[in-house]
Copies of this chain bind each other. A is one copy, B any other.
Amino acid sequence: MSWTFTNDRAIYLQLMEYIERDIVSGTMAPGARMPSVRELASIAGISPNTVQRAMYEMERTGLLLSRGTEGKYITDDRARIDTMRQDLARQKVADFYQDMQHLGFTLDEVETLLAELAAGKNRE
């Protein structure tokens, strides 16, 4: 849960993506309680207001649920989480492939670059 932020996009959007990623990858378990707004703000080094903003948006998508003053919880719906994981992956693949096509790379070249990268990573 080490989050870093860039200044080219709104922090609350980046935070949403980090949390979504942690939920769909299982780093944060379904049904688990989220750290408090203040605690998350402290961890991330940002204002509680910004965390609240991100949380508010994520409740609208149903990924988080607020139980009054007890705290916020990750949804229990594993099917929904897995669907979201698939959707995120497909979107990412589509965006990536389209970008590479715009750069003039064929599917074969993309696959080669990917394989090279993975091979390089494994060597370290």
Residues on A lying within 8 angstroms of B by beta carbon are 8-10, 13, 21, 24-26, 85, 88-90, 92-94, 96-97, 99-100, 102-105, 107, 110-111, 113-115, 117-118
Which residue of the partner chain, among B25, B94, B103, B114, contacts A117 with CB atoms under 8 Å?
B94
Partner of A88, one of B92, B103, B107: B103
CA gap between A104 and B86 in the complex, in Å: 10
Decide if B8 touches A104 in the complex (CB within 8 Å): no
Q: Are A113 and B90 in contact, CB atoms less than 8 angstroms apart?
A: yes
Main secondary structure of the interface of A (DSSP, over half): helix
Is the pair B97, A117 in contact by a Cβ cutoff of 8 Å? yes
- What's the number of copies of this chain in the assembled complex? 2
Instruction: List residues of chain B with CB within 8 A of the CB of A25.
Output: 102-104
Partner of A93, one of B89, B90, B110: B110
- Which one of B8, B92, B107 lies within 8 Å of A9 (CB-CB)? B8
Of the A-B pairs whose beta carbons lie under 8 Å apart in the complex, a sample of 24, sorted by A's number, is A8-B9, A8-B10, A8-B13, A9-B9, A21-B102, A25-B102, A26-B104, A85-B103, A85-B104, A89-B103, A89-B105, A90-B117, A92-B96, A92-B99, A93-B100, A93-B110, A93-B114, A93-B117, A94-B117, A97-B114, A107-B118, A110-B114, A111-B111, A114-B114
